[in-house]
Chain A
């Protein structure tokens, strides 16, 4: 009898888990569709135009450095465009649903608030993935064009692209966290600040060490550990020079991003769980 009961219980638990998976998938797919229909991916057109212009004109001006310039320009644009999408679409992900009251119909259905946040998050991550992949293919094709054939640098850019994507995933989680309790303008500003400070994370630590005041040292040390170290994900210049990060470095940064994202989304869920939708 006990065995039957425990089997039934475990079956129910499995069903609940698979139900959760489908709900998150449905929400993520819808968030992706929203981004596509709101023409977020139109930035790719601008990117392609920029890259085409760079391939044709800059090569002539850069004295044989055209491959390096293409990689530098292409990956920097990829990061910049991605950051804009992560921040501006990310902060609106939840806010728009509350403002337009579309959230009412969603939460009357068996959707947990955490599931909703995670679904929205993966939806934007999927949008960013498509964006980054298309851009990376664009940079690779531009390299083929300027090298008049296969270029070994093409293989070197992909680990850097992966790191850029991880950074964008981190920023999206931060934007989502801020937007779970504050207005889009403030969330965008705060996320942008985290992006800037995150790139100067090492300076925070050295600043903390060099300061005399205990309070200030404590503050900067806490900030160093609290804010994401985004400098780890910046591998654009080495990639342009033909260097690729080691697999262990990529693995460590991926693990760091994963842990950070899980913590951020958990905090966002805890905040969101307490919200009243008046």
Chain B
């Protein structure tokens, strides 16, 4: 079931004071996202990720196109009862304590006092915010701590879909790991997560499907394996070997790509069928096999290689 449907969403900004001109931040974006997925929304700075999220959160209005979340138009205020949102570099009321801020958010959803208190404590514990800081004003919080409070507030209404804009920003390695586990747990609970990021390793580990935006246009969308296969071909294999050198081995494997690496020689072949040939050549050159594995393109390679959509 599709829980997010975006159709031809376009946003132009006007820039300049006297001579105004239009800059297209998002260009004809169409996407649909299934329930229960972690969807990674990738793009370089200024690619249009935050613009998309702001449009979905009705902070800005589209120049063209429309979007539906949970079957309702994004301008429908009541739809927002069922979603959560963590803004990029979250700024919250710095005169409130973490606990008070969550209580305020829960009040907006009309939760009774006892429930508010319980949810605030549960969520602050869940995002692993040190309990001694729960009653500290947010002005004294570090960026990482604010990020945790931001995550907690996005979950205060037990949403069906959570939109996270750069959820790992400002976190140390331990924090990133914890947030990664939290996001995975949200999926296990059946929630859909729409996550914007440019930290590729996190997307790679967490996301089921990804979309890559380039200069406001959708360049790629699909399951990670699919995208990798699309660009790289399904059967490429990599053989790592030691005990010989590239010059000696290339005499027996004249048309194969051989690259020396700190771990030994890396031999890449187009398909599994060529592995026997490599093994025979290695035997002749006096080398030893370390490993044989399929070649996968990292998300980074995919990200950099992705051309701007036509």
Contacts and interface: CB of A to CB of B under 8 A. Distances in A.
A112 interface: yes
Contacts of B91: 100-102, 104
A26 B104 contact: yes
Contacts of A107: 57-59
Contact of B95 (A26, A38, A108): A38
Interface string A30-42: 1001100110000
Interface string B83-98: 1110101111101100
Interface in A2-24: 16, 18-19, 22-23
Contacts of B206: none
Interface stretch (B28-36, B74-82, B128-136): B74-82
Interface residues of A, number: 31
B59 A104 contact: yes
Nearest to A101: B91
Contact of A101 (B77, B85, B87, B96): B87
Interface in A66-115: 100-112
B105 interface: yes
Given A26-B107, A102-B91, A108 B57 contact: yes
Interface residues of B, number: 35
Given A22-B110, A110-B108, A33 B96 contact: yes
Nearest to B157: A109
Nearest to B79: A110
A37 B37 CA distance: 42
Interface string A104-142: 111111111000000000000000000000000000000
A33 B95 CA distance: 9
A105 B107 CA distance: 14
A19 B110 contact: yes
Interface of B: 13, 54, 57-61, 77-81, 83-85, 87, 89-93, 95-96, 100, 104-105, 107-110, 150, 153-154, 157, 163
Q: 6 tightest CB-CB pairs across the interface, nearest first?
A: A108-B85, A26-B107, A37-B95, A104-B87, A276-B60, A110-B80
Given A26-B108, A110-B109, 10 more contacts: A18-B110, A19-B110, A25-B107, A26-B104, A29-B107, A104-B57, A105-B150, A108-B154, A109-B81, A109-B105
